[in-house]
């Protein structure tokens, strides 16, 4: 998913400016009825007061650097019964594949998670026994670790990809393991509890075992230093050589080699792929995904949606990547269905080389009213392309098939949960987007949930002036939504690659994702200060664009640093992209003082002095990012990211961490998923209800019981 993930600062801004007001209704007692002919005055009994429904609780809990939220599914009850049934089948398909993501992230993840779940009840009993305060403290620390594993789909941080370890002691962990029934532990055949502990303890507690899930450090072998389960016994050089032989750079419809397989080397030195398909790796889970997708086929919204689902099933059965392309083309052409699903091996952020994709699913239906805003932008995609500052030879002469909409999410799974994107543009294959189009969506109810979460005073802490704060309070909510819309709709869909150059993952390699996200961001930033948006009626004035410029520079240069431990460099693709764009603009604008670094009362601020000149700088950088993408200029991509996107000023970093510490705001947020409950009459689904669980741990335990389709090792 060319995806737009909401930044830490954007989350905080959205929380401050979103939300609604609870209205009150004034009631008066009925007036006394009087009669001139009687002596009796009758007063009607007062109408019993109707208790107001309690407000929906968006925020549920906070631990470590994480906060759990909930989102609602407005409009679900108005759908046709058949559409509700369809969404239920898609919901079950989505969750049936969730364990794949754990295994893809690290080969020991499923065993670690199942160990922690086997200990959960005994650990809660330790907490309940308050007479032993030492045990309570240790138990609480193990609880937090378990929740972190659930949140990150494994033992590495979902965003930084660095390994986190429990704060409880290995001794407490071992004692707890030995206290439970050995039959509940994920022991391998013939393994004793002591042997199990000898294996699992360093995996969990030793920070030097699998320290990074995805390593992007320049000069390192990115495969042997990454813990991801996409490769086994294979070096970076061997993997690149393997695909260099397979890939045809002259092909106008290149296959997404490696997207759905693990690359391994056996004892004889042979390098080969293990495909993810029915009968292959992850086959048991994919069989269940297919079962539910098959039921969805029978109640599909349109013939186009039915065809897309059938092709997705065929792809999962065979592992044939040509069928994956056929599915994506059919999916793009399905523009009339109210319901929709993203399901597959989609994003390659988890692969340091950008070949293999992690399983994820997003089930949704179209928000008809909110779609009007994003559709207005999508309908003008050719105008934006024609008026882009990129070089003429890199522009698409005929932008085709962009479908833009706001969706209401029903459930997310795999790599899309609990942490979620807020915008999606698919498919990822450049040639399909060019020839057949793409779908761009804004996850409307997810963004709204962020807005309802009260996140404190980050704006007052990091914004420079009263004018900047006032503008943000008035326009930042709309500005953020528009940035997402334009990033997805016209950003990822813009530009073209020169013939014979090859795809970005082949040419730009490990810098491809950061460059692509930067390119899409810059398209959005450049046009957010264009009068065209006022003419389209999507913004009241260019003050909206200024609000987004303020936020983007503030976030890229300062506030996103809260996500990094002191002394670390930036490695995550989206963070690299934002810092690269902001720092490059700051450096290049110094001569004209476009962005000014100000120190006031010992605190650092970044103040934009000339928004139009900043727009010009954004346009210059966009032209360069499109050029190096179109021409496959690896050296230029590396220079931009390594110079501007990686290194962090340690003094400023410490200041940001200290200022955030006083706010008590978790920098990362994710969601407890709604639960769909079918209503059956005579064995047939007649309706589907939506429930909103509030206990994260219970949902994770329920999922693990219901959707356990994979062995400990795959």
Least confident of 42-51, 550-559, 611-620: 42-51
Give pLDDT, residue 400: 83
Which one is the CATH code of 283-671: 3.30.230.70, 3.30.540.30, 3.40.190.80, 3.10.129.10? Answer: 3.30.540.30
Give pLDDT, residue 665: 85
Q: Domain residue spans in the chain?
A: 94-214+680-706, 231-275, 283-671
Helix (H) or strand (E) holding 405: strand 402-414
What mean pLDDT is predicted for residues 157-174? 97
Give pLDDT, residue 50: 52
For residue 51, is pLDDT > 80?
no
For residue 556, is pLDDT > 60?
yes
Q: Which residues of 263-283 are buried (b: 16+ CB within 10 A; e: fewer)?
A: bebeeeeebebebbbbebbbb
Give pLDDT, residue 682: 93
pLDDT confidence tier of residue 17, bands split at 50, 70 and 90: very low
pLDDT confidence tier of residue 12, bands split at 50, 70 and 90: very low
Tens digit of each residue's pLDDT (9 = 90 or more) over 84-123: 999 999 999 999 999 999 999 999 999 999 999 999 999 9
pLDDT confidence tier of residue 374, bands split at 50, 70 and 90: confident
Give pLDDT, residue 131: 86
Give pLDDT, residue 401: 73
Contact 43, 30 (CB under 8 A): yes
Tens digit of each residue's pLDDT (9 = 90 or more) over 612-662: 999 999 999 999 999 999 999 999 999 999 999 999 999 999 999 999 999
* Mean pLDDT value across the chain: 91
Q: How far is CA 440 from CA 158, 225, 371, 525, in A?
A: 24, 35, 11, 17
Q: Which position has the token pair 């009260």?
A: 454
Residue count of the chain, please give it.
714
For residue 34, is pLDDT > 80?
no
Give pLDDT, residue 497: 94
Q: Which residues pair with 33 in a beta bridge?
A: 42
What mean pLDDT is predicted for residues 57-75? 96
What mean pLDDT is predicted for residues 401-423? 94
Contact 652, 558 (CB under 8 A): yes
CA distance 156 to 284: 25
Give pLDDT, residue 8: 40
Tens digit of each residue's pLDDT (9 = 90 or more) over 250-279: 899 999 999 999 999 999 999 999 999 999
Strands 231-232, 339-347: pairing is unpaired
Give pLDDT, residue 35: 31
CA distance 605 to 591: 18
Q: Which residues pair with 231 in a beta bridge?
A: 263
For residue 32, is pLDDT > 70?
no
Least confident of 384-388, 458-462, 465-469: 458-462
Percent of the residues in the chain that have a pLDDT greater than 90, as a whole number:
85
Residue 238 or 51, more confident: 238
């Amino acid at each position: 998913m060319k995806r737009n993930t909401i930044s830490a600062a954007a989350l905080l801004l959205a929380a401050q400016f979103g939300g609604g007001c609870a209205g009150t209704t004034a009631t008066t007692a009925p007036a006394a009825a009087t009669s001139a002919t009687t002596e009796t005055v009758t007063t009607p009994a007062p109408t019993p007061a109707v208790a107001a429904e309690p407000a929906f609780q968006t925020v549920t809990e906070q631990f470590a650097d994480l906060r759990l939220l909930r989102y609602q599914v407005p409009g679900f009850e108005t759908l046709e019964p058949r559409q509700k049934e369809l969404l239920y089948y898609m919901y079950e398909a989505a969750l049936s594949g969730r364990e794949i993501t754990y295994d893809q992230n690290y080969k020991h993840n499923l065993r670690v998670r199942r160990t922690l779940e086997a200990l959960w009840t005994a650990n809660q009993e330790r907490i309940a026994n308050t007479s032993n305060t030492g045990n309570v403290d240790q138990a609480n620390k193990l609880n937090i670790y378990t929740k972190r594993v659930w949140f990150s789909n494994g033992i590495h941080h979902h965003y930084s990809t660095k390994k986190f370890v429990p704060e409880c002691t290995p001794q407490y962990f071992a004692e707890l393991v030995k206290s439970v029934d050995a039959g509940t532990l994920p022991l391998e055949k013939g393994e004793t509890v002591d042997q199990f502990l000898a294996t699992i303890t360093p995996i969990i507690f030793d920070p030097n075992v699998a320290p990074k899930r995805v390593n992007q450090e320049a000069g390192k072998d990115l495969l042997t230093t990454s813990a991801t389960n996409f490769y086994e016994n294979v070096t970076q050089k061997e993997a690149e050589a393997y695909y260099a032989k397979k890939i045809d750079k002259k092909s106008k419809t290149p296959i997404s080699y490696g997207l759905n397989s693990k690359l391994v080397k056996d004892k004889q030195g042979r390098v080969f792929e293990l495909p993810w398909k029915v009968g292959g790796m992850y086959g048991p889970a994919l069989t269940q995904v297919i079962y539910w997708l098959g039921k969805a086929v029978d109640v599909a919204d349109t013939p186009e949606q039915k065809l897309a689902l059938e092709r997705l099933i065929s792809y999962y059965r065979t592992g044939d990547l040509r069928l994956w392309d056929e599915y994506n083309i059919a999916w793009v052409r399905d523009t009339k269905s109210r319901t929709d699903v993203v399901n597959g091996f989609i994003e390659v952020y988890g692969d340091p080389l950008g070949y293999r994709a992690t399983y994820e699913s997003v089930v949704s239906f179209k928000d008809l009213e909110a779609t009007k805003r994003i559709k207005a932008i999508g309908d003008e995609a050719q105008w934006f392309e024609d008026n882009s500052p990129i070089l003429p030879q890199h522009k698409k002469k005929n932008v085709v098939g962009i479908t833009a909409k706001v969706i209401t999410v029903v459930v997310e799974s795999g790599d899309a949960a609990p942490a979620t994107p807020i915008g999606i543009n698919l498919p990822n294959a450049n040639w399909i987007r060019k020839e057949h189009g793409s779908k761009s969506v804004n996850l409307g109810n997810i963004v709204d949930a962020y807005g309802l979460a009260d996140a404190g005073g980050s704006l007052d802490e990091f914004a420079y002036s009263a004018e900047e704060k006032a503008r943000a309070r008035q326009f930042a909510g709309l500005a953020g939504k528009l940035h997402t819309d334009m990033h997805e709709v016209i950003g990822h869909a813009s530009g073209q690659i020169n013939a014979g150059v090859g795809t970005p993952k082949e040419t730009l390699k490990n810098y491809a994702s950061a460059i692509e996200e930067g390119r899409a961001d810059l398209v959005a930033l450049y046009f957010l200060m264009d009068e065209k948006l006022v003419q389209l009626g999507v913004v009241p004035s260019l003050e909206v664009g200024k609000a987004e410029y303020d936020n983007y520079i503030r976030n890229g240069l300062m506030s996103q640093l809260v996500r990094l431990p002191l002394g670390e460099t930036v490695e995550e693709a989206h963070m690299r992209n934002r810092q690269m764009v902001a720092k490059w603009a700051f450096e290049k604008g110094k001569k004209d003082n476009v962005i000014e670094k100000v120190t006031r009362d010992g605190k650092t601020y970044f103040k934009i002095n000339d928004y139009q000149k900043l727009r010009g700088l954004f346009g210059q950088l966009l032209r360069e990012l499109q050029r190096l993408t179109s021409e496959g200029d690896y050296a230029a991509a590396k220079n931009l990211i390594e110079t501007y996107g990686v290194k962090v000023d340690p003094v400023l970093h410490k200041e940001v961490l200290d200022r955030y510490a006083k706010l008590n705001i978790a920098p990362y947020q994710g969601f407890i998923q709604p639960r769909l409950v079918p209503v059956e009459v005579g064995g047939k689904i007649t309706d589907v209800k939506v429930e909103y669980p509030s206990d994260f741990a219970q949902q994770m335990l329920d999922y693990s019981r219901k959707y356990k389709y994979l062995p400990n090792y795959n």
